[in-house]
Chains A and B, each alone.
Chain A
Amino acid sequence: MKQRKNSFANFVTSHPWPIIVIFVAVTVAAAFQLRHIELDTEMKNQLPVDLPTRKNLTQIEKLFGGTDMIMIVLSADDILDIDVIHRLKEMSKKFEHIKEFDRVITLFTAKHISAECGELVVEQAIRRIPKSEKQKETLRHDLKENELVYGNIVSKDFKHTVLIGFLATDASDEKVVGQLEQLIKQTKGPGDALIGGMPVTRVKLSKDIRKDMSRFLPVGLVLMFIFLLLCFREARGVLMPFIMTVMAIVFALGLLAFLGWKIHTVTVLLPVILLAVANDYGIHIMARYQEERAENKELDSKQLAHATVQHLNQPILASGITTMVGLLCLLSHIIIPAEQLGILAAAGVAFAMVGSLVFIPAVLAVLPKSKSKKKKEKKIQDVATLMSRLLNFIGDVASKKSRGILIISGVLLVAFATGAAFIVVDSNPMSFYKKNDPVWRATHMLNEHFGGWANVSIVAKGDIKDPAVMKEIDKLERHLKKHPLVGTTSSIAAMVRGMNRVMNDNAASADKVPDKRDLIAQYFLLYSLSGDIEDFNKLVDFNYRNAQILAQVRDSGTRAATDVVHYTQAYIDAHPQAPFTIVGGLLDVITNMVDYIVRGQLLSLFLSILLCGVLVGAVMRSVVAGLISMIPLGIAVSILFGLMGYWGIELNLITAMLSSIMIGVGIDYTIHFLWRYREERRLAEPMDAVKITLRSAGRGILFNGFSVVVGFVVLLLSQFFPVQFFGLLVVVSIVSCLIGALVVLPAVVIVFKPKFLEPTESGNSTEELPGAA
């Protein structure tokens, strides 16, 4: 073993140039791939095809085309003011011409159907733009009477109106949103126009995340750099880990392009995870290098590099591989980008790990040995000495009050774990926005003043013209209206009911589905002659074999959508004779997917903790080692989820995915501590060994942890909640991993003196304490 270790270190330090050339070449090659990187933030492209809700969606879209709605909400003191209505007309005209829509509903496309003395009158809801106050009030009266319009496309206080477009199934979210923004710019006039609905929320969310990340991360990088400089106080100490991290990020992104993948919203996390994890290995190498240089003044560059690699290649390999395995647990996700994120993050870690063991020592071997700066160090009270003091303090406390630490952390752990019980699994995209944000306001208006922001769709199969089938559709639609979160509903049954009433001179008794099939068929023919049969294209298919009920949901959270779907499903289960075959839609798929991701992430988190335990156990050849290695991660998970529970931060797509960072850093910190402790324990008593370990390996751990914390604290300055959460959660994750590895773990090894850490008989076991036996 020792022999091999040496030969590895020998190899690295004796062939520095080829190694440097190879690493630089690979990085440059990866950098060249970067220009092929494509962005794909279309959420629809990320849905797994074999998800049951997705299959439902495909079925629905095959029958009725897209059901995903995007809206413009126009608000003014009075929508019927001449200037406002002129603008609305212009907007409506342009809106209708957008090719990505396969159905459009506005005040200017809406109809008014009425019956007067044996006549059927079908006309535009707005026949002409009012020119006088009197005409305006007449129009207001007409619109109030028009149940197709009132409360559905014009708010009951006439302060808001909505233009609704149903996206064609192949439409691009970003393209449509761009067109609508253009449209609003082009149609100048009074009133305030906002874009709302699911598609714009998707676009805004992914854009805002990218925008704020690219604004704040560079600042974070600079801060990280400065912090490391203060820690190491020499250029190479900072540059080596820093360059290695950047190389790892370039490599991972280059690999992404090379594999022909695209950057999705979730992939944004890749650089974040690598920033937090990948500099770890380089920092440990540099910390050890400085340590060796201070202790062994006679060694030259090459020998120093050799000694560093010799000591660290095992712990770095062990921590790197466990981290990779932990990250690869992301493969258990059902969404493709999460799987890709796992692979790419693991590849980046692999690159950083190998680079830190090979590339950095090779460079160090080539560089002239830098002068010791001892004199300076003694004079200046800087970060590094603060760190050392902190570590000394922790070492003292951990060794003297180890039992107390365990008890306190046990109590705190229970308290945090209790908080985790309050965690809410809900991805409400609106919770990411402030209340004055246009997206928030638009969604709020759609939910408050109109039928709701998105659709749940229910498909009925059978002879739709059959009164029995039609009546079942009618019943379910009425049942849906009773749900507090359901706003507007639309169905072919409601249209037939309306026609029946109108053809029977508005008799209230005729407001029902007629009993004769022929009459229903003739109503359809009538509508195709007097109205526009296209009005039905979302409600019934070409051959009248399938019909669709659309129920708009008035709450943007995933829980609301799930609730409506379950409510409907319960009705269908209770009415097995009813002709309904599918409940679903895009809202359902996204809801379902988000929940899958969140739950999947929890699963992959626990899976990776377990796997890491197994791996560490295997490497250290001890079950206890495995169990102990899980402690810091367990603590970190409890703290993170506990705080989220107490602070009311929902477990959603982003917060769940972020927990991957903990796997990376948590494992690394643990392994570096345990490895060094076992080494030091051969030479000293447990208490002293802990102190020495904290001063040496603890330094690297703390440098790494704090540098990441410093870098991510900047994100708290973002105005955008998800990015703030990014910052907050990364900081919480890392601090809790630090506490786990540097405070609790030392106390554990002192109190329990696990056998695998104690010197073996072949080693120096004379100092073994009686209590440890």
Chain B
Amino acid sequence: MRVGRYLFSNMLVLGVIVGLVISAGMNADAGATLTAKEIMENAALSRKLDGSEAVMKLIIQNGKGEKRERKIAMVTKLFDNGKTEKRVYRFLSPADVKGTGVLAFDYENKGDDMWIYLPALRKTRRIVTSERSKAFMGSEFSYADMNTPTLTDYTFRTLKEEAVDGVSCWLIEVKPKNEDVAEDEGYSKKKIWIAKEEYTIRKALYFDLEGELLKELKSKNIECLDELKKRYRSKYMEMTNKQNGRKSIFKIEKIENIPNTKDLYFTTEYLERP
């Protein structure tokens, strides 16, 4: 199945935002001045980078307040006129997984590819998985959250305008058109707050299949990476599970817009380099 799509295609910061933005953008109601679709399209565009290099932390916290922290380096680049995104991840800490590498190709029209390198085994394995599992690396960010959904599967509506942390936003409601879509993703409804000025996501609520609030996403420290093209990234994203108290945080420590990242990075040979 489509490995990269589910696992890495829209991983991390990119993933959550792209997923939400595109899903909301394609099939929109007529809004007052801007339609939900237009708002979402703008939002999708606002975060698109040709290439990037970043260092980030994934902090996973369970209901008892215990924490697990991983530091990851990530490089991305768009290929085939933006149709394929290739990514490389390298785990920097904790020590016992240091050097573990993942290479993912996210194709637009076919199943994705993923390879993983385990330094303790000194072997690279291509991973084929249909597991569209709930939790990404045991975090509260699910693959569904990071996935680009089939856009015709949803209906969108601009509910109202509302400020989040003093930034005025549109509040857009996203609903799956049928039960299968809902089942697949695990949500009956999403609510997304998008900043009017920059088209960046500030907040989102996820409702489970019984209609109860399941998770809350908060997005902060939004930074402009490309003044010219008006491209932004959130450097702090926090997903809280409202039903079990667990919480996961993506914290970008460093991110650079590097359109000409080396192609060499996106090979299994590079993955196995110490």
A531 contacts across to B, CB distance below 8 A: 129, 131, 133
Describe A's contact surface by its main secondary structure: mixed
Is there an interface contact between A124 and B134, defined as CB atoms closer than 8 Å?
Answer: no
Q: Does A214 contact B (CB under 8 A)?
A: no
- Contact of B116 with A519 in the complex, beta carbons under 8 Å: no
* Max count, chain A CB within 10 A of own CB: residue among B64, B130, B134, B138: B138
In this complex, the member of B116, B121, B130, B134 whose beta carbon has the largest number of chain A beta carbons within 10 angstroms is: B121
Given A119-B126, A120-B125, the answer on whether A522 and B131 have CB atoms closer than 8 Å is: no
Q: Given A119, A518, A542, which contacts B128 in the complex, CB threshold below 8 Å?
A: A119
Cβ contact of A503, chosen from B66, B102, B123, B130, cutoff 8 A: B123
Q: Inside 8 A of A528's CB, which chain B residues have their CB? A: 137-138
A111: interface (CB < 8 Å) = yes
CA gap between A543 and B183 in the complex, in Å: 31
* Chain A 532-558: CB-based contact to B (< 8 A → 1; otherwise 0): 111000000011000000000000000
Nearest B residue to A531 via CB reads: B131
| CB-contacts of A474-531 with B (<8 A) | 503, 514, 516-519, 521-523, 525-526, 528-531
Chain A residues near B97: list those with CB within 8 A.
Answer: 518, 521-522, 525
- How many angstroms between the C-alpha atoms of A7 and B133 in the bound complex? 84
Judge whether B131 and A111 touch: CB under 8 Å. Answer: yes
Q: Is the CB of A503 within 8 A of B138?
A: no
A461-483 contact mask (Cβ, 8 Å, vs B): 1 or 0: 00001000000000000000000
Closest chain B residue to A523 by CB distance? B118
Q: Contacts of B7 on A, CB cut-off 8 Å?
A: 529-530
Q: Are B125 and A118 closer than 8 Å at their CB atoms?
A: yes
B127 within 8 A of A: yes
Contact partner of B210 (CB less than 8 A), chosen from A93, A97, A532, is: A97
Name the residue on B nearest A544 (C-beta).
B68
* Chain B 95-134 per-residue mask, 1 if CB under 8 angstroms from chain A, else 0: 0110010100000000000001011110101111111011
Given the complex, which residues of B lie within 8 Å of A521, measured CB to CB?
94, 96-97, 120
Q: Kindly report which residue of chain A lies nearest to residue B125, judged by CB atoms.
A: A120
Given A529-B7, A530-B116, CB of A121 within 8 Å of CB of B135: no
The chain A residue with its CB closest to the CB of B138 is: A533
Decide if B91 touches A543 in the complex (CB within 8 Å): no
List B contacts of A514 (CB < 8 A): 120
Select the residue from B120, B126, B183 with max chain A CB neighbours within 10 A: B120
* A127–B1 alpha-carbon span in the complex (Å): 10
Complex interface residues of chain B between 1 and 19 (CB less than 8 A to chain A): 1, 7
**Cβ-based interface call for A123 (8 A):** yes
Q: Is the CB of B119 within 8 A of A529?
A: no
| A21 on the B face (CB < 8 A) | no
Contacts of A93 in B (CB 8 A): 183
Partner of B133, one of A127, A522, A534: A534
**Contact A122 B120, beta carbon cutoff 8 Å:** no
* Most chain B CB neighbours (cut-off 10 Å) among A517, A521, A530: A530
Tell whether B92 is near chain A: CB-to-CB under 8 Å. Answer: no
* Interface residue from A120, A522, A543 paired with B100 (Cβ < 8 Å): A522
The docked-state distance in angstroms from the alpha carbon of A525 to that of B116 is: 10
A93 to B186, CA, bound (A): 11
Given A522-B97, A522-B121, decide whether A529 and B128 contact each other with a Cβ distance below 8 A: no
Contacts of B123 in A (CB 8 A): 503
Q: Which of A83-142 contact B (CB under 8 A)?
A: 93, 97, 99, 111, 118-124, 127
Is there a chain A Cβ closer than 8 Å to B258's Cβ?
Answer: no
The CA of A124 and the CA of B137, in the complex, are separated in Å by 18
- Docked Cα-Cα span, A444 to B137, in Å, equals 39
Knowing A97-B210, A516-B120 are in contact, say whether A123-B130 is a contact too (CB < 8 A): yes
* Contact of B96 with A542 in the complex, beta carbons under 8 Å: no
Contacts of A518 in B (CB 8 A): 96-97, 119-120
Contacts of B1 in A (CB 8 A): 123
> A122, B126: Cβ atoms under 8 Å?
no
Chain A nearest CB from B189 CB (Å) reads 16
- A contact residues around B42 at 8 Å (CB): none
**In the complex, what residues of B have CB within 8 A of residue A517's CB?**
96
Given A522-B121, A543-B68, A530 contacting B134 (CB threshold 8 A): no
Closest Cβ of chain B: how far from A239's Cβ, in Å? Answer: 56
Q: C-beta contact mask, A295-316 vs B, less than 8 Å → 1, else 0?
A: 0000000000000000000000
B209 at interface, CB cutoff 8 A: yes
Q: Are A519 and B120 in contact (CB under 8 A)?
A: yes
Among A525, A528, A532, chain B packs the most CB atoms within 10 A around the CB of A525
A residues in contact (CB < 8 Å) with B: 93, 97, 99, 111, 118-124, 127, 465, 503, 514, 516-519, 521-523, 525-526, 528-534, 542-543
A-B contact pairs, 19 of them (CB 8 A): A118-B126, A119-B126, A119-B127, A120-B127, A120-B128, A122-B130, A503-B121, A518-B97, A518-B119, A519-B120, A522-B120, A522-B121, A529-B127, A530-B129, A530-B131, A531-B129, A531-B131, A531-B133, A543-B66
Instruction: State the 9 A-B residue pairs at the shortest beta-carbon distance, nearest first.
Output: A521-B96, A532-B133, A519-B120, A533-B138, A518-B120, A122-B129, A123-B130, A522-B118, A121-B128
Other contacts beyond A534-B133, A534-B134: 12, CB < 8 A: A99-B210, A119-B127, A119-B128, A120-B126, A120-B127, A123-B131, A516-B120, A519-B118, A525-B91, A528-B137, A533-B135, A542-B68
Q: Which residues of B contact A (CB under 8 A)?
A: 1, 7, 62, 64, 66, 68, 91, 94, 96-97, 100, 102, 116, 118-121, 123, 125-131, 133-135, 137-138, 183, 209-210
